[in-house]
C-alpha cells in the first residue's frame, strides 16, 4: 500500500447523518421554536393539555392502531427485535436451508457453530432479564444446551454421524426454538395517535371529565424514500379529542383551531378539503365500497398495476391515485356522498354548517378517504403552497372505534397531525425564514481591570434579557469591532481603564457609528428603551 493510501486509511472516519434524517440548525431552529410556541398559544385556550408519549412502543400497538396492511406498518417501521429473536430467525433459516442442500456430514458442522452461539446468546439474555423466565423457556434453554453438546460430540468424536440422529436433533432444535417466548418487539413510532389512545386507556382517562383534549409534538419515524418534504425522521404537531360526544361542533371546533394556528403562523395559500367517509356498515361505507369495487372491476384493464392491487385489498385507496391517465376514470366512479346512511349524511351537513358559522372556508373533496375501518365520517386535509408534490401539511379525521380496538372502553375520537417539516418549508419558501440570530451588545474590553467589570456587566445585561457576547480573550479595539459587526450586534460596549475609573461607559451604535458615554444605570435604561422600541 502506498504512503498516501495508508495515510488516507488512517484518517478517522467522517460521519454523516443517516439518509432521511437531518440536523435542524440555527437560525432555522428559531422558526421551529416559534411554530411550536404558536401551537401552544393557540391550543391551550381551546382547552388542550400537552401529552408526551414515548418515542418507541410495542410494535403490535402500531400494527393494530395504524393497521397491519398499511404501507406505514408493513414496510416503513423501524423495528428492533430483542437480540435473541433476530438470531433465532437466522438459526431457523439456517436449519431450513442447510437441510435442503444437505451434503452428508456438512450439516452438523454448519449447524454447530450458530447453535453454540445461540445458546450463549440465550444465556446472556436471561442473565440480563431480556427473556421472560417462564418454565417453558427454562426447559427449552436446557434442551438447546444439551442438543448443542451432543452435536459438538458428534462432530468432534464420531467420523460420520448417524443421519437419523442428526435429523432428530434438528427437529428438536426447531421445536424448542419455536416454543421460546421473547419480549415484544418494539418500533419507533410512525405516528402518535395510537400512543395517545394507549395512554388514554392506560391512565383511565375515561374517568376524567370528557372529552379529553390532548396535543403533542415531536419526531416520528418512517422508512420512506426520502425526497423534498419527505424524511425518515420527521416532526408532527398533533391533537386528539377522546371520549365524550361525536357532535359535529367538536369536529368543526378542532378544524377552526387548526386553521387559526396556520393563520397565526402566517402560512400562505392554505386550502382545507373535507369529506365524510360514513361508517363501516353495510348501509353506509361497506355498501359503497362493494359498489366501488364492482365499478372498478369494469375498468380494471385500464388501471395501472398499483390501482389493480389496491382494488383488491383496499378499493378506497384507488381514489388517492395521482396517475394522469387514471384521473378521467376515477372521476366517473360512484361517490361516497351519494351512499351515506341518514345519520352520517346529517352529521356531514351539520359539520359544514358549523364550519360556516365559524367562518372557516373549505372545499369538499369526495376523493379524500382513509383506508381503515375505524376511520369514520369527518376526514380533512390541508395543503399549502411552495411544497411541490408533497403539499399536504396536515391530515386528520374521526376514528370512533380506535380506543376500543386497542382494548379500551368505547370512546369517540377525532384528531389531526401536522407535518411540521413541511409547514416550516412552506413558511421559508414564502420568505418567513428566521433572521440569523445577532447580539444586542458586544463587549469590547481592554485590560485586566476592565475585564472584571466586563464579566459583571455581561452577567447583569444577560440577566436583563439582552443577548451579550463577551470575548474570552482581549482583542485590539479594531478587531473587536469587526467581530461585533460580523455577529450582527446592535451595540458595542467599550470598557477600558478610563471607563472603569470614570464610571462612564462608552456605548457605540454600530449602525451609524455614533458614540455616547453613560453611567451603568443609565446604560441599562437606554438599552431597555431601545429594545422596547425595536
Look at residue 297 and give its three-state secondary structure.
helix
Interacting residue with ligand AMP among 230, 293, 358, 449 (CB under 6 A): 230
Q: Please report which residue ranges of 386-519 form alpha helices under DSSP H.
A: 402-405, 420-429, 448-463, 477-486, 497-502
Stretch that binds ligand AMP, among 9-17, 229-237, 372-380, 451-459 (CB under 6 A): 229-237
Rounded-to-integer distance, Cα 127 and Cα 467, Å: 53
Rounded-to-integer distance, Cα 347 and Cα 139, Å: 58
**219, 238 in Cβ contact below 8 A?**
no
Neighbours of 18 (CB within 10 A): 9
Unique residue bearing C-alpha cell 471607563:
499
Q: What's CA 51's distance to the chain center, in Å?
A: 15
Rounded-to-integer distance, Cα 238 and Cα 234, Å: 13
Residues 419-478 contacting ligand AMP, CB under 6 A? 419, 421-422
Task: Name the residue nearer to ligand AMP (CB basis): 254 or 296.
Answer: 254
Told to check if 393 binds ligand AMP by CB under 6 A, we report: yes
Interacting residue with ligand AMP among 43, 234, 362, 380 (CB under 6 A): 234
Task: Name the residue nearer to ligand AMP (CB basis): 176 or 236.
Answer: 236
| Cα distances (Å, whole numbers) of residue 429 to 10, 35, 424 | 43, 15, 9
Stretch that binds ligand AMP, among 147-155, 231-239, 332-340, 447-455 (CB under 6 A): 231-239
Task: Name the residue nearer to ligand AMP (CB basis): 411 or 417.
Answer: 417
Q: How far is the CB of 222 from ligand AMP (least distance, A)?
A: 5
Look at residue 281 and give its three-state secondary structure.
coil
Q: How far is the CB of 421 from ligand AMP (least distance, A)?
A: 5
Task: Name the residue nearer to ligand AMP (CB basis): 21 or 109.
Answer: 21
User: What single string gives the DSSP state of each residue in 63-87?
Assistant: IIIIITTSHHHHHS--EE--HHHHH
**214, 50 in Cβ contact below 8 A?**
yes
Q: How far is the CB of 261 from ligand AMP (least distance, A)?
A: 14
Stretch that binds ligand AMP, among 57-65, 166-174, 414-422, 452-460 (CB under 6 A): 414-422
Rounded-to-integer distance, Cα 188 and Cα 80, Å: 8
Q: How far is the CB of 392 from ligand AMP (least distance, A)?
A: 4
Q: How far is the CB of 209 from ligand AMP (least distance, A)?
A: 28
Size of the site for ligand AMP (CB under 6 A): 16
Told to check if 236 binds ligand AMP by CB under 6 A, we report: yes
Three-state SS for 298-335 is HHHHHCCHHHHHHHHHCHHHHHHCCCHHHHHHHHCCCC
Interacting residue with ligand AMP among 94, 185, 350, 392 (CB under 6 A): 392
Residues 176-205 contacting ligand AMP, CB under 6 A? 191
Stretch that binds ligand AMP, among 226-234, 344-352, 438-446, 510-518 (CB under 6 A): 226-234
Told to check if 223 binds ligand AMP by CB under 6 A, we report: no
| Cα distances (Å, whole numbers) of residue 45 to 38, 48, 53, 60 | 12, 7, 22, 35
Rounded-to-integer distance, Cα 129 and Cα 438, Å: 52
Interacting residue with ligand AMP among 259, 369, 384, 417 (CB under 6 A): 417
Pairing status of strand 56-58 against strand 186-188: antiparallel
Interacting residue with ligand AMP among 107, 216, 231, 374 (CB under 6 A): 231
Minimal CB distance to ligand AMP: which residue?
Answer: 419
Told to check if 240 binds ligand AMP by CB under 6 A, we report: no
Told to check if 279 binds ligand AMP by CB under 6 A, we report: no
Which residues of this protein are in contact with ligand AMP, per CB under 6 A? 191, 222, 224, 229-231, 234, 236, 392-395, 417, 419, 421-422
Amino acid at each position: 500500500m502506498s504512503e498516501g493510501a495508508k495515510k488516507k486509511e488512517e484518517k478517522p472516519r467522517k460521519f454523516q447523518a443517516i439518509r432521511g434524517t437531518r440536523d435542524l440548525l440555527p437560525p432555522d431552529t428559531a422558526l421551529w421554536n416559534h411554530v411550536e410556541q404558536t401551537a401552544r398559544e393557540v391550543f391551550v385556550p381551546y382547552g388542550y393539555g400537552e401529552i408526551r408519549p414515548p418515542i418507541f412502543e410495542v410494535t403490535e400497538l402500531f400494527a393494530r392502531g395504524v393497521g397491519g396492511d398499511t404501507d406505514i406498518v408493513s414496510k416503513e417501521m423501524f423495528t428492533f427485535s430483542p437480540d435473541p429473536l433476530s438470531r433465532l430467525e437466522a438459526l431457523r433459516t439456517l436449519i431450513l436451508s442447510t437441510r435442503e442442500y444437505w451434503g452428508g456430514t456438512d450439516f452438523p458442522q454448519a449447524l454447530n457453530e450458530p447453535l453454540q452461539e445461540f445458546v450463549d446468546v440465550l444465556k446472556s439474555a436471561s442473565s440480563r432479564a431480556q427473556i421472560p423466565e417462564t418454565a417453558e423457556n427454562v426447559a427449552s434453554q436446557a434442551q438447546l444446551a444439551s442438543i448443542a453438546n451432543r452435536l459438538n460430540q458428534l462432530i468432534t468424536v464420531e467420523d460420520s454421524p448417524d443421519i437419523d440422529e442428526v435429523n432428530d436433533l434438528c427437529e428438536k432444535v426447531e421445536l424448542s426454538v419455536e416454543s421460546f417466548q421473547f419480549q415484544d418487539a418494539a418500533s419507533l413510532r410512525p405516528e402518535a395517535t395510537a400512543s395517545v389512545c394507549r395512554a388514554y386507556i392506560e391512565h383511565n382517562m375515561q374517568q376524567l371529565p370528557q372529552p379529553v383534549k390532548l396535543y403533542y409534538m415531536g419526531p416520528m419515524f418512517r422508512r420512506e424514500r426520502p425526497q423534498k418534504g419527505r424524511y425518515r425522521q420527521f416532526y408532527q404537531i398533533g391533537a386528539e379529542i377522546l371520549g365524550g360526544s361525536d357532535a359535529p361542533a367538536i369536529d368543526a371546533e378542532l378544524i377552526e383551531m387548526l386553521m387559526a394556528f396556520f393563520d397565526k403562523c402566517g402560512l400562505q395559500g392554505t386550502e382545507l378539503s373535507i369529506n365524510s367517509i360514513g361508517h363501516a356498515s353495510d348501509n353506509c361505507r361497506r355498501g359503497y365500497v362493494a359498489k366501488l369495487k364492482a365499478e372498478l372491476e369494469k375498468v380494471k384493464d385500464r388501471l395501472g398495476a398499483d390501482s389493480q392491487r389496491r382494488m383488491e385489498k383496499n378499493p378506497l385507496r384507488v381514489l388517492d391515485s395521482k396517475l394522469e391517465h387514471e384521473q378521467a376514470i376515477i372521476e366517473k366512479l360512484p361517490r361516497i356522498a351519494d351512499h351515506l346512511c341518514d345519520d352520517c349524511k346529517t352529521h356531514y351537513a351539520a359539520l359544514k354548517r358549523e364550519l360556516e358559522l365559524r367562518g372557516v372556508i373549505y372545499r369538499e373533496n369526495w376523493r379524500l378517504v382513509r383506508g381503515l375501518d375505524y376511520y369514520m365520517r369527518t376526514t380533512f386535509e390541508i395543503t399549502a403552497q411552495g411544497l411541490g408534490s408533497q403539499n399536504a401539511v396536515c391530515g386528520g379525521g374521526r376514528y370512533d372505534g380506535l380506543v376500543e380496538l386497542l382494548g379500551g372502553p368505547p370512546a369517540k375520537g377525532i384528531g389531526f397531525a401536522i407535518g411540521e417539516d413541511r409547514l416550516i418549508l412552506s413558511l421559508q419558501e414564502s420568505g418567513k425564514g428566521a433572521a440569523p440570530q445577532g447580539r444586542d451588545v458586544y463587549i469590547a474590553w481592554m485590560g485586566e481591570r476592565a475585564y472584571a467589570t466586563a464579566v459583571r456587566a455581561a452577567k447583569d445585561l444577560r440577566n436583563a434579557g439582552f443577548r451579550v457576547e463577551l470575548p474570552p480573550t482581549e482583542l485590539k479595539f479594531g478587531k473587536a469591532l469587526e467581530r461585533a459587526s460580523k455577529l450582527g450586534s446592535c451595540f458595542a460596549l467599550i470598557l477600558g481603564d478610563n471607563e472603569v475609573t470614570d464610571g462612564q461607559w462608552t456605548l457605540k451604535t454600530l449602525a451609524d457609528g455614533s458614540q455616547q458615554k453613560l453611567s451603568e444605570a443609565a446604560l441599562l435604561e437606554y438599552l431597555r428603551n431601545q429594545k422596547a422600541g425595536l
